[in-house]
């Protein structure tokens, strides 16, 4: 399942999907994000979970999307050993290698 913008432009060919709460809590712990890969967190309802970078050792970008797959918040160049709580509830979160995508709040995605 590729990740695309609202115009159908391919953003990431590979999408790793995490639905399981345990897998979601681990995220990219002790891993480096792969190029051209997006890591998609699917939640059953809107949430406001904080994301942490305690065991992630390279910066990443995190995009928070609502139920319509519109970006409602983002954290770019999320640095190791930090914590971030999104400003709005979200249904999906996408992690990528820092700088891989050039997206803004308000943009819609498809996956």
> What's the whole-model pTM score?
0.87
Q: How confident is the model at residue 20 (pLDDT cuts 50, 70, 90)?
A: low
Domain 3-110 sits in CATH at: 2.60.120.1140
The full set of domain ranges for the chain reads 3-110
The 10s digit of each residue's pLDDT in 29-58 is: 657 777 889 999 999 999 999 998 888 888
Residue 67, SS3 per DSSP: coil
Distances (CA, A) of 67 to 45, 57, 92: 8, 30, 7
The 10s digit of each residue's pLDDT in 64-84 is: 999 999 999 999 999 988 999
Give the C-alpha separation, 83 to 79, whole Å.
Answer: 9
């Amino acid at each position: 399942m590729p990740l695309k913008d609202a115009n159908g432009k391919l953003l990431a060919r590979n999408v790793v999907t995490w639905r399981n709460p345990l897998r979601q809590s681990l995220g990219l712990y002790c891993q480096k994000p792969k190029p051209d890969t997006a890591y998609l967190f699917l939640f059953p309802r809107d949430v406001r979970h904080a994301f942490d970078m305690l065991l992630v050792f390279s910066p990443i970008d995190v995009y928070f999307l609502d139920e319509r797959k519109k970006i409602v918040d983002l954290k770019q160049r999320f640095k190791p050993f930090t914590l971030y709580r999104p400003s709005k509830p979200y249904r999906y979160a996408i992690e990528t290698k820092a700088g891989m995508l050039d997206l803004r709040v308000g943009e819609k995605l498809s996956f």
